[in-house]
Structure 1
Amino acid sequence: MSDSVLNAMTVDVEDFFHVSAFESVITPEQWKDYQPRVDKNTRTLLDMFAKHKIKSTFFVLGWVAERYPELIKEIHAQGHEVASHGYAHRRATEQTREEFTADVTRSKNHLEDLLGEALTGYRAPSFSIGYDNEWAFEVLAELGFQYSSSTYPVKHDLYGTPDWPRFAYMRKEGIIEIPIPTHKVMGRQTPIGGGGYFRLYPYTLTKSLISGYLKKEKQPYSFYFHPWEIDADQPRMVNAPLKSRFRHYVNLNKTQGKLERLLSDFSWGTMKDVYNIAK
């Protein structure tokens, strides 16, 4: 293990047809037309985490929790943290305050009823809290969340707050925001938090970037990915834009092997444990 610092392992529990990259070709009304793969893929991840004796935070989509309650109970029973990813994977930037409140409330209430305990964490789909909807933090605080991980301080066509803080901080609304990590060189911030970048970069580069981040910043690192990213056999959305297809399908067949190395090379825990969120 290359570093003894405890870092946060996180999983956004959603299926391949939920992703923002495909929202132009798949509507929520069409989700029922696809065979879900999230249950099997997530259980594979649970086995991997058990093998490496690590705990993770699972940001669960309410849509998934309603259809696979036993999966969510198993995540919880194995000692992982369950947090909210909203209900319908609709970006916060595409919702009014009232719609956002209803979406997050539905997810939070269902997960808390299912598990019998309060949730403390939330992550917006596609890191979609930013300049134009900071009111979302007020909503999260009002709903009783203690932390969010909903911002990415980079420039991206779907998200990004490049001039916002790069490390965990207390917001004026009374909620801790934990941004996705970036590597900063000569004023330019490169995404290193996981997802498609993890699949795109050679593993040796990823390991070097994480190690450099830990050494330079003296901050814990957090990593995110999705259950569909270990599923090379998932259906192909041939009608989706070329850029979206590249982002979604690049190196799916290599992800699980890379994850095995990542889990071995660094120390991992839940968001609550890494960032000392009150339980």
Structure 2
Amino acid sequence: MRMNEPALQAGRASTGPVVNAMTCDVEDYFQVSAFAPFISRDSWPARECRVEANMERILALFADNGVKATFFTLGWIAERYPNVVRAIVAQGHELASHGYSHLRASDQGRAEFARDIRRSKALLEDIAGAAVVGYRAPSFSIGADNLWALDELLDAGYRYSSSIYPIRHDHYGMPHAPRFAFHPTGPDGLLEVPITTVRLMQRNLPAGGGGYFRLLPYTLSRWMMERVNRIDGQAAIFYFHPWEIDPGQPRPQGLSPKARFRHYINIDRMEQRIRQLTRDFAWDRMDRIFLDKQ
């Protein structure tokens, strides 16, 4: 699969500041990939699920600050909490797919992946009564070894993906991928919108949220996104999870020190940082930023 040139100036309004994409991966604390070796999938239904209350807080925060966002939602969550899905759409946000049960795309064969993305899309659309055109792979698990997944997404009716993170990481990453929105197979194919990075010292540095946003000083994260807007003239893609604003969540036993550090670092500061972020930048949904300009 050939990587074509990035789309130019994606996310820039005709006048005024660059509009950035606010995104949320709707999953619960026990579903994160880093916990997979320690928490069995069979135990999920019996665990305390906190996503509903956390989503209420997130939707209220966005309403308070006039932010519209894209919510990449697990089918597993949507089945159990359909009112969360309906609230996303009712409040003017974009509903998108995060797969059904948070299986990494890189851990699935092609046929299994195709079934998963179709199942989640149909489920979300049935609950919401709205089209689902966007997808994000769990743990950014589309990379050089499974680019066929992008063809499957197009065949399933998706128009864009945000599944490639052009960094080096022990769990994911495709560091040589384009940094900004691009069509991997040509202008009529699926649009891939990578998570934001800053190019410094001949290396892509993560600048799009998640654990890095909790770990780094807020001023540094803001500087990196401002640089992408000002120097690159591109929209920043920011992401986070509902469990990241929930310092009171259960703390499973038996986690490795690395998994525990990554998951809980500065979790008590996250909600206030997101609130500040909504005030410091202009935000909108993925589909309106990238698809409406094509």
TM-score by length of 1: 0.97
> Which residue of 1 is the match for residue 286 of structure 2?
271
Cα displacement (A) at 1:4: 2.4
Q: In 1, distance between residues paired with 2:108 and 2:124?
A: 21
Q: Is 1:261 matched up with 2:276?
A: yes
Instruction: Provide the aligned C-alpha RMSD in A.
Output: 1.3
> Which residue of 1 is the match for residue 4 of structure 2?
none
Q: In 1, distance between residues paired with 2:106 and 2:272?
A: 34
> Which residue of 1 is the match for residue 9 of structure 2?
none
Q: Is 1:180 matched up with 2:175?
A: no
> Which residue of 2 is the match for residue 237 of structure 1?
252
Q: Is 1:47 matched up with 2:51?
A: no
Maintained 8 Å contact 1:9/1:224: yes
Equivalent pairs counted in the alignment come to 277
- Alignment map for 1:17-166 (pairs within 5 Å): 17-166=30-179
Q: In 2, distance between residues paired with 1:134 and 1:195?
A: 23
> Which residue of 2 is the match for residue 6 of structure 1?
19
Which of 193, 200, 203 matches 2:208? 193
Maintained 8 Å contact 1:146/1:277: no
Q: In 2, distance between residues paired with 1:93 and 1:83?
A: 20
Gapped runs of 5+ residues in structure 2? 1-15
* Amino acid corresponding to residue 144 of structure 2 in structure 1: Y
Maintained 8 Å contact 1:150/1:177: yes
The 4+ residue runs of structure 1 with deviation greater than 2 A are 276-279
Cα displacement (A) at 1:278: 7.8
Moved more, 170-179 or 54-63: 170-179
Q: In 2, distance between residues paired with 1:169 and 1:70?
A: 34
Which of 240, 243, 246 matches 1:225? 240
Q: In 2, distance between residues paired with 1:71 and 1:57?
A: 13
Q: In 1, distance between residues paired with 2:289 and 2:130?
A: 20
Q: In 2, distance between residues paired with 1:119 and 1:75?
A: 12
Cα displacement (A) at 1:268: 0.3
Secondary structure at 2:261's aligned position in 1?
Answer: helix
Q: In 1, distance between residues paired with 2:26 and 2:88?
A: 11
CA shift in 2, pair 1:278/1:26, >3 Å: farther
Q: In 1, distance between residues paired with 2:293 and 2:231?
A: 27
Q: In 1, distance between residues paired with 2:244 and 2:30?
A: 12
Secondary structure at 2:263's aligned position in 1?
Answer: helix
Gapped runs of 5+ residues in structure 1? none
Maintained 8 Å contact 1:199/1:251: yes
* Amino acid corresponding to residue 20 of structure 2 in structure 1: N
Q: In 2, distance between residues paired with 1:165 and 1:253?
A: 34
Task: Show CA shifts across 1:149-182 (max 9, x none).
Answer: 0000000011000001100011217100000011
Cα displacement (A) at 1:33: 2.1
Task: Show CA shifts across 1:215-263 (max 9, x none).
Answer: 1111111100000000001111231111111000000000011111100
* Amino acid corresponding to residue 291 of structure 2 in structure 1: N
Cα displacement (A) at 1:104: 1.1
Maintained 8 Å contact 1:16/1:234: yes
Cα displacement (A) at 1:53: 0.7
* Amino acid corresponding to residue 285 of structure 2 in structure 1: T
Q: In 2, distance between residues paired with 1:165 and 1:126?
A: 18
Q: In 1, distance between residues paired with 2:233 and 2:180?
A: 10
